[in-house]
Amino acid sequence: MNVEQSILPLIPVIVSLLAIPLIVATGERNPNLREFWSVLAGVIKFAVVASMLPAVLAGKTLEFKLFKLFPGIEVKFRADALGMLFALGASFLWIVTTFYSIGYMRGHNEKKQTRYFACFAAALSTTMGVAFSGNLFTMFLFYEGLTFVTYPLVAHHETDEAKAGARKYAIYLIGAAKVFLVAAIVITYMIAGTLDFQKGGIFTEAVRHTYSGILGIVFLMYFYGFAKAAIMPLHGWLPAAMVAPTPVSALLHAVAVVKTGVFTVLRVIFFVYGTDFLKELSTTNFALFMAAFTITVGSMIALTRDNIKARLAFSTISQLSYVILGGLLLTYDGMLGGIIHISNHAFAKITLFFCAGSLYVCAHKTEVSQLDGIAKKMPWTMAAFTIGALGMIGVPLVGGFITKWYLLMGALEKGSIEIVGVLLLSSLLNAGYFLPIIYRAYFRKFDDTHGHAHEIKENPFIATTLMITAILSIIGGLYPDLIINLAKEVLK
């Protein structure tokens, strides 16, 4: 492996942390300046991440060791292809989400906006820490940190419902980490003697032979310990977190929290266990089954939800498992499809959440049954929603199609007709819960019983940002080379 020492992987983690005191100091007195710091930090973060891209595409891994605690346990950062794919999407979408947040928070006259933007910055800092972690120990620190800094965002409204949702969010994520994840990391260190990520895995042939039974169980502990991936039955926190403001939902369900969950599982698959070892473990098949089960059942539940954000939440539960299913297929095309879905899902799903927020702020609509004819009043919002929905379904020309193509090829390569069936059924279910929304919006008559139609108009901040992410979803479908090349670099 071509390793180069560089401080660059650490800088994206620090940038947002430096912005927090500036955001807090500016506070409510000067909201324009407060939000300027948020945008500036996002631009600097993205620029630093992008600056590492040429080296990573050339096959280099950038590393920076901060300090050592014990032999084999140190706080270390690395920029490789997998981390770069995650960090590029997250850092760019943070800029877009910041502009969206300005329109949403002001348009809805939300309280405690300074706390919101400060926690928002902390969330992206910990997300970058996960993306650029050089070992399991560092990744665990930032993974847990992300839970704590997003708790105030989930509880933002401070209602009884918000507090209950935030408690459930914390109990699921912290509980799973304490019960499964800590133990898994300790056992891994005791057996392997290191926690550093290595291509092909960290376990020697002798260790694999001697401890295969234990390590098979430990893999399932990682699988469920990283509960942000929302694999059933540890998915209940995600719908509960819908009590948060919509920009937070977009952050949680498209960019940071859930992507951290599936990203960490992929880290374990490729850089702790290695694909060759996982092919030997019987527990891999159980994990693959649970991913397929989550894809199917999540979509079925989404069909039953009238609340827009609830429908999107169960859609997210389903879509996240595409990433894990692809990784666990252990075929080249399947793994490629799983990796690229980190980005393809991010752009499409954040678009959908942005649209849900737009409908709430501008039209006070929260239910699917309320959307009859709304496209006539909010054409930009519904155009973007349509693009995001087509991406989730897997229609050609949108990024989601690329994902599903590779996953289908991977399932055929594996010779698993069952997985092919799951993928085809899930696409039909996706169509089943998205197309009726589009039909209502465009082909039903707008109901103006209360005479408020003249008050409905789109917010320029919100409309601009959701169209940007929608267009990027199409670009991801038409020009997928960058994401695919990064994914291929992971699998070399």
Confidence of residue 82 (pLDDT cuts 50, 70, 90): very high
- Average pLDDT score over residue span 292-315: 92
Cα gap 248→445, rounded to integer Å:
32
End-to-end CA distance of the chain: 10
CB–CB of 126/149 below 8 Å?
yes
Q: Is pLDDT of 110 > 70? A: no
The torsion angles phi and psi of 60, rounded to 5 degrees, stand at -90, 155
- Average pLDDT score over residue span 308-335: 92
Q: Is pLDDT of 447 > 80? A: no
pLDDT digits (tens, 9 = 90+) for 232-273: 898 888 888 777 777 777 776 677 788 899 999 999 999 999
pTM of the model: 0.91
pLDDT digits (tens, 9 = 90+) for 137-149: 999 999 999 988 8
User: Which of residues 302 and 364 earns the better pLDDT score?
Assistant: 302
Q: What is the pLDDT of residue 412?
A: 94
User: Which of residues 204 and 30 earns the better pLDDT score?
Assistant: 204
- Average pLDDT score over residue span 15-32: 84
Q: What share of the chain has pLDDT > 90, as a percent?
A: 47
Sequence letter at residue 445 = K
Q: What is the pLDDT of residue 311?
A: 92
- Average pLDDT score over residue span 284-295: 94
The torsion angles phi and psi of 78, rounded to 5 degrees, stand at -150, 145
Q: What is the pLDDT of residue 453?
A: 63
Cα gap 398→384, rounded to integer Å:
12
Q: What is the pLDDT of residue 56?
A: 92
CB–CB of 54/79 below 8 Å?
no
Q: Is pLDDT of 171 > 60? A: yes
Q: What is the pLDDT of residue 451?
A: 55
* Residue 68: strand pairing partners: 74
Q: What is the pLDDT of residue 154?
A: 84
Q: Is pLDDT of 45 > 80? A: yes
Confidence of residue 107 (pLDDT cuts 50, 70, 90): low
Q: What is the pLDDT of residue 207?
A: 87
pLDDT digits (tens, 9 = 90+) for 83-99: 999 999 889 988 888 88
Tokens matching residue 33: 């300046």
Confidence of residue 338 (pLDDT cuts 50, 70, 90): very high
Least Cα distance to 136 among 212, 60, 222, 217 occurs for 222
CB–CB of 259/90 below 8 Å?
yes
User: Which of residues 417 and 258 earns the better pLDDT score?
Assistant: 417
Rg value, the chain, Cα: 21
